[in-house]
């Protein structure tokens, strides 16, 4: 069986191609919308489940504060990855079994502008 052919582009590293793949895959999730009902569910999830470590007002506890001033300057992609993948060696669990990337993005957007209260 012949070896698979490899496409080589002069001056392009594998990281370059991986970056493009990541960029296009993120675009697929950016178009996904979080409907109003799911937004209400996510507010309850964050206020109750995340609030058990980050404080019921999200101003810190076992976990750090999730207030806009604390998150200012942090990359939204990094925050999303923390939500979805957790943090090894800490109490922060991965939430990817329960949340889509679009939902994690929505949570990050809300946290960065001031998370809504449960209604």
Q: How far is residue 104's CA from residue 81's CA, in Å, rounded to a whole number?
A: 8
Q: How many domains does the chain have?
A: 1
Helices (H), the chain: 14-30, 36-45, 51-54, 68-71, 76-85, 101-113
Q: How far is residue 10's CA from residue 52's CA, in Å, rounded to a whole number?
A: 52
Q: Which residue has the tokens 């939500």?
A: 83
Domain of residue 71, CATH code: 1.10.760.10
0.95 exceeded by the pTM?
no
Residue 65 falls within a domain, yes or no? yes
Per-residue pLDDT of the chain (119 residues; tens, 9 = 90+): 555 444 444 555 554 443 434 433 444 444 479 999 999 999 999 999 999 999 999 999 999 999 999 999 999 999 999 999 999 999 999 999 999 999 999 999 999 999 998 87
Q: How far is CA 2 from the centre of its chain?
A: 42
Give the domain range for residue 66: 14-113
Which residue from 62, 66, 91 is spatially nearest to 79, judged by alpha carbons? 66
């Amino acid at each position: 069986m012949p070896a698979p052919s490899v496409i080589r582009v002069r001056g392009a590293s594998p990281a370059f191609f991986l970056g493009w793949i990541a960029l296009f895959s993120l675009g697929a999730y950016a178009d996904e919308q979080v409907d109003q009902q799911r937004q209400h569910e996510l507010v309850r999830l964050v206020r109750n489940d995340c609030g058990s470590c980050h404080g019921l007002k999200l101003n810190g506890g076992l976990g750090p504060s999730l207030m806009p001033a604390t998150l200012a300057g942090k990359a939204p992609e990094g925050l999303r990855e923390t939500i979805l993948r957790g943090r090894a060696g800490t109490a922060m669990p991965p939430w990817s079994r329960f949340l889509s990337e679009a939902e994690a993005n929505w949570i990050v957007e809300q946290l960065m502008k001031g998370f809504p209260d449960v209604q």
